[in-house]
Chains A and B, each alone.
Chain A
């Protein structure tokens, strides 16, 4: 038995729709998501003893409010909660929050931890402001910014080498967007729900070759939250706790151009650690909730996590195996390519969706009989790779 296997569980989730909402403040998304998560868990709000807000990127003052306990006070938890602090590592924030919260609970330091994210990347900043924000955030000001580096280029550089080494085709990469969109069509919280074809993706504007506009995430406003507690408390609260069974991660670089294997990143090591702790194998996974700020990262994860053979992920997705009704449903909320990119919230939304599926609350897109799911996240310039395995039973 590993250090964390089956010791903690997620018992409540909350989420507001993702999209462009000029009139909706980020704090509204945060409070609404927290309230939903608390009601979903059926827990008394005063039992929340730790609050972990992750980082918000659109506004430094708002981020500071979250760091300085605004949520605690808004929820009426002042003089009740023990601690409020930020855990933030960009897109991999949920991976690190899981480690932090589960570790605190397993050692008895925390009882019920509320984790929350909200951001306003669609309407809180201008379009060029978004490009400029993401041409500096986490990109080395000494070694990369002077060469015009930005996130589309980072994804394109990754795609180019992945295609070179694995033989994956442009059409196969485009088919990842189709798979995600098929799920988003069934997700009322997603930003983009109209059906899309490989031809439409291929015909969309070329950003940095070989990356098309429709293979990129869409910046969005949104928020979500979840509550994690001990396995014992979880069984009191619900008949379907979603247990954390295993997790693993690896930091591979800070400066993007220093990574020595862009075609795998750290997902091989992250996956091996997670499977080992859970005592499960890739074949046991009913769902793959894979982080997708760009299409290529889902293919990298499919292969590095052993869900597909090397060089086989593109054809696998193209053949429809990851679609609704397929043998390995993937990124079932539509991911950042369809639900939208809310900063650290991209991985929050994917984690919340993992839990939703395993709780059996995914509505039209529910994967029947799902027991085990593997979830991934990666942050900054894909500096770290996180994998976590959840189950509604402890194997």
Chain B
């Protein structure tokens, strides 16, 4: 991917540990210390029990594709050069969901419920994005 013109994430103050984590090639999610639920995207307080006692944990990075699409036309301006590319919703083993791109495989090889694992793509000195690729056996 051409990374020079890509939109950079608009970061919230309390999500910085996530972005620092991916810069170090770690996929960080949150966990509520009171109710034990894993949380993503990062919140100021637990969306399940409303506690503010939240800690960070490194996710397994493994999951399955809930759904996906191959973008072939009419992409946003800064992604036109990347077509075709795959956008997917990934369900991590921890039970949380996130949007990402599926890389390192033919777009047509992707399917619903495909096992995937995280990989990291550097966007700039400040930002790295978590992407997913087919799970290695």
A residues near B (Cβ < 8 Å) are 128, 131-132, 135, 140-150, 152-153, 156-158, 160-161, 164, 205-211, 213, 255-258, 260, 262
Contacts and interface: CB of A to CB of B under 8 A. Distances in A.
A131 B74 CA distance: 7
A148 B85 contact: yes
A255 B41 contact: yes
B70 A209 contact: yes
For the residues of B in contact with A, the DSSP-based class is: mixed
A256 B98 CA distance: 9
Interface string B1-36: 000001111111001000000000000000000000
13 contacts: A143-B41, A145-B76, A146-B123, A147-B87, A157-B68, A157-B69, A157-B87, A160-B68, A208-B69, A208-B70, A208-B72, A256-B99, A260-B97
A258 B97 contact: yes
A146 B122 CA distance: 12
Given A131-B74, A164-B67, A257-B98, A142 B12 contact: yes
Nearest to B76: A135
B9 A141 contact: yes
B67 A147 contact: no
B45 to A, nearest CB: 16
B71 A148 contact: yes
Contacts of B88: 157
Interface residues of B, number: 37
A142 B9 contact: yes
B58 interface: no
A146 B68 contact: no
A256 B87 CA distance: 12
A157 B9 CA distance: 21
B107 to A, nearest CB: 8
B67 A158 contact: yes
Contacts of B82: 148
B100 interface: yes
B67 A160 contact: yes
B57 interface: no
Interface string B68-105: 11111111110100100101110000000111110000
B87 A148 contact: yes
Contacts of A148: 71, 75-76, 79, 82, 85, 87, 101
Nearest to B70: A209
B54 interface: no
A205 B9 contact: no
Nearest to A130: B74
B66 interface: yes
Contact of A146 (B12, B73, B113, B129): B129
Interface in B103-134: 112-113, 123, 127, 129
A148 B70 CA distance: 11
A152 B74 contact: yes
Contacts of B11: 142
B76 A146 contact: no
Contacts of A211: 69
Contacts of B12: 142
Contact of B75 (A146, A150, A157, A160): A150
B97 A208 contact: no
